[in-house]
């Protein structure tokens, strides 16, 4: 029996889900002797939809009678129709479209599905990845040009206030990856240079330069030297005080913990300072850390840096080096950042994610995440909230329930 055999029946069952429904139908079907050609089941809020493509052969009439009888017994709605023509031509161009919204309004979903249709692609499957702190849906799409569809859906993203990621589907969606993150305002909520400048009484001055650099208005290397210069004369002990004051971004621990469970390589690359970044990486179990080094003499910060500055090109070089060391092509890399200093890294990666980023970064990245939870990046990789929480429960790790963002 093959899928395009004229003696196939498409059986669709719907109604209230409960244990034993699927087995009841298949016990009855087994007695008739039908072949299972295709099968799909989904349960949404306790409502079951079960679709079976069955090879009927000589027992077609008996099969119709049996599934109808089981449906009546269980109080379920059963539809049976001829399964001929069930196998469409094979479509290429597989893509995964992930949509995050809080809230995720029907108008936004309507616009996205219409845009996919006008692209000439087909939605083969939809599944929910999370319902809190944001609602996330994944569309399994075929017949798509990934780069063109990404550009087209970016228009809907801005109009409807949604975060939309488009990535190659199929095997490209699976397997080991390298994930590289910026640190300041990405892995952590703070800008370390501003925390240090507070000790020098010049926080506002440094913050203004930092913001201009992140918007791409100033050369990063020059702006960094200017900001570091204000630290001259501070005792090295301020580094410990600043490290204690740093706040991880909500979801940072969950993100790294989950990536490590999957066997991914995780790295941080920062225009900040290795004296802070290395300790953060150790605390979270991150594999690689690359950042600038402050010059210290006789226990005092000199206001200068040691070695080459980790700037925009330097971040991209670090990503490539970590990928080489992990034996991964760039297509298997993910970069996450928020400022103009991250743009080369985001462009080099297979997937560049702008996290609560400046406008210039959102415009140029592959996708953007605009909710304050770093673990939302996991949804872009096709990982569900339920899978994250089940893994945490299995090893006794408490998963914090993030507050629902206000609108």
Separation of first and last alpha carbons in the chain: 55
Phi first, then psi: what are they for 255, rounded to 5°? -60, -55
Please choose, from the candidates 141, 181, 215, 168, the residue with its C-alpha nearest in 3D space to the C-alpha of residue 364.
Answer: 215
Report in angstroms the alpha-carbon separations of 277 from 118, 188, 372: 46, 10, 21
Please choose, from the candidates 268, 272, 271, the residue with its C-alpha nearest in 3D space to the C-alpha of residue 282.
Answer: 268
Report in angstroms the alpha-carbon separations of 129 from 199, 302, 378, 381, 404: 44, 49, 9, 10, 16
Kindly give, in sequence order, each residue whose CB lies less than 8 Å from that of residue 385, ignoring residues fewer than 6 positions away.
129, 130, 131, 132, 136, 379
Beta strand 135-142 with 8-16: parallel, antiparallel or unpaired? unpaired
Query: 140, 182, 190, 366: which is the annotated catalytic residue?
Result: 182
How crowded is the C-beta side of 375, counted as CA atoms within 13 Å?
28
Please choose, from the candidates 251, 281, 275, 280, the residue with its C-alpha nearest in 3D space to the C-alpha of residue 356.
Answer: 251
Tokens of 357: 């980023």
Using CA of residue 337, residue 339, residue 342, residue 348, what is the dihedral sign? positive
Query: What 3-state class would DSSP assign to 257?
Result: helix
184 catalytic residue (yes or no): yes
Q: Where are the alpha helices (DSSP H) in 144-287?
A: 146-160, 192-199, 203-214, 220-229, 238-245, 252-261, 274-284
No. of helices (H) and no. of strands (E), the chain: 15, 15
- Residue 90, exposed/middle/buried by CB under 10 A (0-12, 13-18, 19+)? exposed
Element (H, E) at 378: helix 377-380
Query: 17, 184, 287, 344: which is the annotated catalytic residue?
Result: 184
Residue linked to tokens 């929910």? 128
Phi first, then psi: what are they for 28, rounded to 5°? -70, -40
Asked if 146 and 168 touch (Cβ cutoff 8 Å), the reply is yes
Active-site residues, by number, are: 182, 184
């Amino acid at each position: 029996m093959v899928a395009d055999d004229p003696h196939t029946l498409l059986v669709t069952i719907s109604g209230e889900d409960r244990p034993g429904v699927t087995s009841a139908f298949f016990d009855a079907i087994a007695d008739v002797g039908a072949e299972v050609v295709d099968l799909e089941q989904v349960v949404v809020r306790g409502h079951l939809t079960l679709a079976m493509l069955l090879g009927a052969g000589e027992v077609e009439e008996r099969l119709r009678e049996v599934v109808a009888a089981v449906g009546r017994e269980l109080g379920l709605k059963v539809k049976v129709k001829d399964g001929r023509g069930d196998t469409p031509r094979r479509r290429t161009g597989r893509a995964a479209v992930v949509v995050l919204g809080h809230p995720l309004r029907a108008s936004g979903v309507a616009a996205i599905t219409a845009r996919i249709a006008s692209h000439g692609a087909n939605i083969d499957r939809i599944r929910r990845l999370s319902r809190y702190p944001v609602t996330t849906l994944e569309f399994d799409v075929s017949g798509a040009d990934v780069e063109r569809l990404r550009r087209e859906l970016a228009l809907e993203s801005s109009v409807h206030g949604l975060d939309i990621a488009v990535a190659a589907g199929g095997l490209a969606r699976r397997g080991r990856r390298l994930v590289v993150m910026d640190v300041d305002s990405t892995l952590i909520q703070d800008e370390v240079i501003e925390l240090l400048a507070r000790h020098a009484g010049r926080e506002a001055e440094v913050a203004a330069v930092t913001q201009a650099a992140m918007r791409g208005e100033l050369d990063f290397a020059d702006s960094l030297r200017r900001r570091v210069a204000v630290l001259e004369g501070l005792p090295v002990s301020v580094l410990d005080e600043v490290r204690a004051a740093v706040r991880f971004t909500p979801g940072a621990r969950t993100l790294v913990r989950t990536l490590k469970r999957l066997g991914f390589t995780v790295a941080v690359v920062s225009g900040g300072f290795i004296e802070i970044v290395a300790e953060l990486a150790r605390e979270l179990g991150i594999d690689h850390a690359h950042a600038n080094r402050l010059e210290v003499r006789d226990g005092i910060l000199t206001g200068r840096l040691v070695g080459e500055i980790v700037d925009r090109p330097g971040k991209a070089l670090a990503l490539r080096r970590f990928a080489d060391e992990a034996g991964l092509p760039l297509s298997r890399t993910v970069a996450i950042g928020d400022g103009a200093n991250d743009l080369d890294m985001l462009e080099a990666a297979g997937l560049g994610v702008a996290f609560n980023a400046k406008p210039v970064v959102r415009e140029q990245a592959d996708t953007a995440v605009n909710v304050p939870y770093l673990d939302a990046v996991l949804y872009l990789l096709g990982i569900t909230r339920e899978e994250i929480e089940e893994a945490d429960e299995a090893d006794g790790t408490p998963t914090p329930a993030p507050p629902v963002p206000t609108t």
